[in-house]
Chain A
Amino acid sequence: MGFGGYLLRRLLLVVPTLAGVTVISFALTYLLPGNPALVKAGALATPDVVREIERQMGLDRPVPVQYWRYVSGLLRGDLGESSSTGRPVLEDFRQRVPATLELTLASLLVAVALGVPLGVLSAVRRDSLLDHVSRLLGVGGVAMPSFWTGLLLLYVFFYLLGVAPPPLGRLAADVTPPARLTGLYVIDAALTADGVALVSALHHLMLPALTLGFAVMAPLTRMVRATMLEILESDYVKAAWAAGLPRRRVVYGDALRNALIPVITVLGVIFGFLMAGNVVVEMVYAWPGLGHYAVTALVTKDPGPIQSFVLFVAVMYVFVNLAVDLLYGLADPRIRLR
């Protein structure tokens, strides 16, 4: 069976998973205490009013019917309304997705750019000082809460050194956002050659990306190191040495190329970490993304956005894992050609 078959099988698996995700999300939104009708009606509503709203919202119907309405609403893009902004949640999301995306991608870049070389060097120079430092980072990195590292970085780079901007969003107050193309300020500013916005956007992105990047770097480095160690001992690497291939080619060609295949599989897990970390880091830096929006809504007793956020992240997570599996299939001929 070729890659087409693999693709099809993997795509089919998405359907039950998404069904499971919506069931849980539905349960969180409608079935649990914290009656949404009560929330919508407000604290002063009489029981009659609440019942009326319940009827309007279909909460008096059988559960399967409610679920069906919920799912078909989702398919139409209906994520409910936010009582704090008074607007459809989907619209609020659309506004904030680019901020979250920008932070996520920048963090991923930081993590990969630092974590992969560190893991490789650590494996190649096993038991060297560098290896010990990287292993320490690997163990310590997963134990540090990212809100804490974020705050410490703020203390050092904003308060003590004064090189970082205050944690108040994506741009300095006196800078106008670049023309919107992708919504990612850094990319938009670069594309429109808006130097002022680019510098300010990068300046503000620096610490959040470093915080979040550091948090996910640890598992990445650990994984790269472990697989590299295993592969450096493999028969084909021995054969490559025996064939007189230069060291660089053996390590970065033969070994790393094979080591990156299992590393692809942790990208899904890393995305999960990133989404969790986003929530916390966005709170620390007042980064106007999805996580910040969801948590802020919660403070004003508005649970709609947070449940939509949970659902949104889970759906993204399902598709990221799908992409990871497909990428894995493409990278490894043993799977592609099975």
Chain B
Amino acid sequence: MRWRRLTGNRLSLAALCGILLVVAAALLAPWVAPHDPDETDAEATLSSVSLRHPLGTDIYGRDQLSRLIHAARVDLLVALSATAIALTLGATLGALAGYRGGWVDQLLMRAVDAIMAFPAFILAMGITAALGNSTANLVAAIAITHVPIYTRLIRGEMLKARETEYAEAARTVGNRPRQIVLIHLLPNCVPPLIVQATLAMGFAVLTVAALSFIGLGIQPPQSEWGQMTAEGAGYVVSGEWWLVLFPGLAIMATVLAFNLLGDTLRDVLDPRMRGVR
């Protein structure tokens, strides 16, 4: 039993290291990438794993490792901005709904219900298609589909807090309970928000990749993991495996790292949510 706890910690440590590695790669891309991502090597087009090109090259002879490293920037940036926007907007709306109650609450919650009536990826697809392909639109699409998570979370906490002792205590000393709730609530909301945001990061990376894979979202020549997979897809049936394997591995490792970290954070910060997902 003890070793399970230990491996649990070791796993989350590995997850944290993985995330730091991807973040470092993204930040330092121009310096750590062995080649320019757009530089073509005419002597080594569609070449497999080699010393010169550790992860092989594509049809134009571009170095895949360098492209993967540069793609990390796009994937992380989109996922991070979408998550940050969704968290801010969602939490604010949730607080507003819980604080004001009444018709504001009704209206906001109906809107949230409507968004949640769509499978998230499908809605993101519709929004990107409607807004047009651009990085900003991709961020907007993912952010919108993630807003309800935070709105519901904060609103739920607000409603719960209203029934608690400090709200009661505030009432007895003549304070307006809602104000007190708002002040005392924030620290209570931070742990579940962190947990949700971490888990949502993983989901956002998957969504960016999948949207770009089907041609929505990030467009060539800018490199993005899902879009790189799409470019390599045609070569899988003729045996050029590296064009698909590595971008996919990058996606999986990143998503896995965020999920594992999120799970651990949930166990540590927010034990009552354990096993909910």
Contact = CB atoms under 8 A, between A and B. Distances in A.
Interface string A258-279: 0000000000000111011001
B57 interface: no
A147 B131 contact: no
Contacts of B110: 16, 20
A250 interface: no
A17 B248 contact: no
Interface of A: 16-17, 19-21, 23-25, 28-29, 32-34, 127, 139-140, 142-148, 151-152, 154-155, 158-159, 166-167, 222, 226, 271-273, 275-276, 279-280, 283-284, 295, 298-299, 303, 306-307, 309-310, 313-314, 317-318
Given A148-B248, A276-B119, A25 B126 contact: yes
A145 B130 contact: no
Contacts of B198: none
15 contacts: A17-B117, A20-B111, A20-B115, A21-B118, A143-B255, A145-B251, A145-B255, A146-B210, A147-B213, A148-B229, A159-B239, A283-B213, A310-B122, A310-B129, A313-B119
Contacts of B118: 21, 24, 310, 313-314, 317
A142 B206 CA distance: 9
Given A139-B256, A139-B259, A306-B125, A145 B119 contact: no
Given A145-B251, A147-B229, 13 more contacts: A20-B114, A142-B259, A147-B233, A151-B233, A155-B237, A276-B119, A276-B210, A280-B214, A283-B214, A298-B216, A310-B123, A314-B117, A317-B117
A159 B131 CA distance: 39
Interface residues of B, number: 51
A28 B216 contact: no
Nearest to A307: B126
Given A154-B237, A166-B237, A279 B125 contact: yes
A280 B213 contact: yes
B241 interface: yes
Max chain B CB contacts within 10 Å: which of A16, A159, A271, A275?
A159
B273 interface: no
